[in-house]
Structure 1
Amino acid sequence: MLVSFFKPNQPAPLIAGLPIVALLLWIPGFLKYPLPVSFDNTMPLYDAMVYLTSGVPYFSNIVSLLLVFLQALLLNSIVNKNEMLSPKTNLPALMYILVMSSITELQIMHPVIFANLFVLFAIKRTSTVYLQKTVFSQMFDAGALIAIASFFYFPAIVFFLFIWGSLIITRTFIWREYIIALVGVAVPYVFLSTYYYLWTGDLLGLVQEKFTSELNPANIVLPQLISTHYALVICLLVLLGLSILTMFKVMANSVLRIQYLLKTLVVLLFTGLVAILFDNSRNLQTIALAAIPFAVFTGNYFLHAKRRWLAECILLCLLGFIIFNFFV
């Protein structure tokens, strides 16, 4: 079964099993969306990607699927390298693939897929700050990576709070680290603003077109669900709740460094949920903003499940709800 197959930290599940799972789950997306789908209030780097892939059937699907697969591998590498879960496992990669494939609207070249890649790189940089003497370069890099993520999907800018949250949890207060992280976010925006000003001469138009609507408080709402999504969302929320409870139990028996890292993932989950509120599309695909911590927490739940048969049943139920949503 899936839990037993992906539980060991072996290369075979990642090399052979994970691509098969991802490809099978993405078949509905290939059939339904052979060409890129347009979105409102998109950001410059995403617009560039759409331009490069438009007109070529299935190319955008292939790019998105490869990105999701690579992100799953990167997430799994970060988790195992930092020993966030013990023993090491491939389950976070599996859970990331499942949640990023859970609805067909995510099986397209959605801007959040690109944003998640840079959020993962930011997590990789912040995961190394514990007990280091200076972390100026890590903070600048993490801030810049979050800014680049927002160039694809603007609500991702909220993940800057994750950087500061990581500093609060893992280090004593050094005000320069917070400022450098902020500078890291600002520098890419300075370059973007300069480019728009020199190219179009209308910097105010950029602000009004790309940022104002996203920051409008009137747009802060929960995603609107269709009837067939409720079962899937309830299943995801119940699984997340069980996983968080398990995570806190594991955290209590972990060394201090691991406790800090897991607490930063809680901050990441919170910021992801906040970012969902700023997506004015109001669609369910915004759950991808919380996919990274969700994958780690649920991976830990299945890793430590005492009743293997129950864990397998829960995962099969989740997979069943995902498949059900594809065909209704």
Structure 2
Amino acid sequence: MLLKVLRRRSPIYFILIPIIALLLWLNAFQNPVLLAEYSSQMPLYQSILCILNCNPLYLNIFGYLLILIISYSLIQLNEQFIFIKQRTDLPSALFILLASCATLANGLHPALISALFLLLSLNRVFKIYHGSQSIASSFDVGLLIGLASLFYLPTSLAFIWFVWSLIILGSFRLREFLGGLLGFITPLFFICCWYFWQGNLEDFLEHSKMIFSSHEHLESFSITQILFWGFLTLLSLISIFFTIWGFEEKRVRSRKYLIIIVALFITSVASCILFPSSILAQTLIAAVPLSYIFSYFFVMNRNTKISEILFAILVAGCIILTIMR
């Protein structure tokens, strides 16, 4: 019953979404903490810390607004490209739950900003399929990934996802690849020029190497958390299988869009394997594609009883983890 209600389109969602997000972020406002130290961050995130004076409360308010922007953008993207055949607000609700139950949801983390840029790049990747402005769209994708990496460096691995997406779309040509590469290099080039002008280029390069090779301490997880993440892993595998080989979706275009979304999720998981210190942060980024993958499964699955049970467990698990945090 809960899933049946939530997957419908309703104007009331625009009121409920901020309320739900606020309830899940109450702990962040009541006990604000600074998740990322200034000295160990990428330059664009450092600029935000400077603007907000490293105030944890201001940063949490900014993070809360980012959660809302991403949530509404998830709905808009499906409205524009309709890769989930039934129009639904479910991706928004799922993203809020997944992102808010993440360990790092006690405040603003640079990975959350990068998640917004990756969602915007997903929009531009889909536009490549239309072919009218494929080079410009490729440049935009590379530019957005480059900007995202200047907030959270491991996001730079998303460029591999861009190349993968070109192959999936059948648009892997030299001009699209070079357009994306040029876009990716552009913000990095300007930031390097800035540091060179300041005489700190070598320090910036060493700092970037340190972020990639860092081994942050990973907190120990409780039995409840382990069980929930195990359930989430199982549900992800089921949903991915259903999304790729689901019998409901017949249109080639929509199928390619869904495979690209799955590819983005796989890329975020691969980033966790390559850089274990980024596991917790990557959950925020993975929540973007996972929201669509789960939504497709819950909306298109004909076995409503199983979907209702799995969705109820997912919601209960997210709420319990949020309360325990």
Structure 1 position 226 matched with structure 2 position 211 = no
Residue equivalent to 1:10: 10
Counterpart Cα distance in 2 of 1:16 and 1:262: 28
1:290 alignment counterpart? 286
CA RMSD of aligned residues (A): 2.4
Q: 1:159 to 1:293 in 2, by over 3 A?
A: same
Does structure 2 retain, via aligned residues, the 8 Å contact 1:85–1:300? yes
Which residue does 2:315 correspond to in 1? 319
* Contact residue 83 and residue 258 of structure 1 kept, 8 A: yes
Deviation, 1:134, is 4.4
**Matched residue type, 2:228:** L
Distance (whole Å) between structure 2 residues aligned to residue 113 and residue 172 of structure 1: 29
Aligned-partner Cα distance in 1 for 2:247–2:130: 19
User: 1:202 aligns to what?
Assistant: 200
Q: How many equivalent residue pairs? A: 322
Report if aligned partners of 2:271, 2:278 keep a CA contact under 8 Å in 1.
Answer: no
Correspondence for 2:140: 141
* Percent of matched pairs sharing the same residue: 25
Q: Name the residue aligned to 2:297.
A: 301
Which position in structure 1 is the counterpart of 2:252? 256
Q: Name structure 2 gaps, 5 residues minimum.
A: none
Query: In the alignment, what sits opposite 1:117?
Result: 116
Q: Secondary structure at the match of 2:250?
A: coil
The 3-state SS of whatever aligns with 1:36 is coil
**1:25, distance to aligned residue in structure 2 (A):** 1.1
Query: What is the alpha-carbon distance in structure 2 between the residues aligned to residue 57 and residue 154 of structure 1?
Result: 22
Q: Which residue of 2 aligns with 1:80?
A: 79
TM-score (norm 1): 0.90
Equivalent of residue 245 in structure 1, options 241, 253, 270 = 241
- CA change 1:181–1:311 in 2 (3 A) is same
Report the AA paired with residue 141 of structure 1: D
CA displacement 1:279-308 (0-9 Å, x = unmatched): 453553431121111100101111123344
Deviation for aligned residue 1:28: 2.1
Provide runs of 4+ in structure 1 moved above 4 Å: 221-225
What is aligned with 1:93?
Answer: 92
Q: SS of the counterpart of 1:94?
A: helix
| Contact 2:114–2:155, Cα closer than 8 Å, also in 1 | yes
Counterpart code for 1:288? L
Equivalent residue letter for 2:50: Y
**Is 1:165 matched up with 2:128?**
no
Please say if residues 29 and 104 of structure 1, whose CA atoms lie closer than 8 Å, have aligned partners that are also in contact: no
Indicate conservation of the 8 Å contact 2:139/2:179, yes or no: yes
Taking structure 2 as the reference length, what is the TM-score of the superposition? 0.91
Distance 1:104 1:26, change over 3 A: farther
Cα drift, residue 215 of structure 1:
3.6
Give CA deviations for 1:44-94 in whole Å, capped at 9, x if unaligned: 111111222236452211110110111011122112210110111111111
Decide whether the 8 Å contact of 1:279 with 1:286 is kept in 2.
Answer: no
CA distance in 2, matches of 1:224, 1:205: 30
| The 10-residue stretch of structure 1 (58-67 or 305-314) with the greater mean CA deviation from structure 2 | 305-314
Q: In the TM superposition, what whole-angstrom CA distance separates every residue of 1:254-297 from its partner, at most 9, and x where no partner exists?
A: 21111111111121111111222354535534311211111001
Per the alignment, do residues 55 and 257 of structure 1 end up closer, same or farther by CA in structure 2, a change over 3 Å counting? closer
Q: How big is the shift at 1:225?
A: 4.8
> How big is the shift at 1:138?
0.4
Residues of 2 paired with 1:173 and 1:267: CA distance? 16
Cα 1:226–1:262 change in 2 (3 A) is same
Residue 141 of structure 2 contacts residue 180 of structure 2 at CA under 8 Å; is this kept in 1? yes
Whether the aligned pair in 1 keeps the contact of 2:8 and 2:89 (CA below 8 Å) is yes
Note if contact 1:140-1:184 (Cα within 8 Å) is conserved in structure 2.
Answer: yes
Q: Which residue of 1 aligns with 2:70?
A: 71
How do 1:29-44 and structure 2 match up within 5 A?
29-32=28-31, 34-39=32-37, 41-44=40-43
Note the C-alpha offset of 1:223: 6.4
Q: 1:225 to 1:179 in 2, by over 3 A?
A: farther
Distance 1:51 1:133, change over 3 A: closer
Contact 2:7–2:88 under 8 Å retained in 1 = yes
Q: Is the 8 A contact 1:243 1:301 kept in 2?
A: yes
Given residue 226 of structure 1, which amino acid in structure 2 is its aligned partner? F
Q: Distance in 1 between matches of 2:15 and 2:200?
A: 50
**Quick one: distance in 2 between partners of 1:297 and 1:167?**
20
Distance (Å, rounded) in 1 between the aligned partners of 2:285 and 2:273? 10
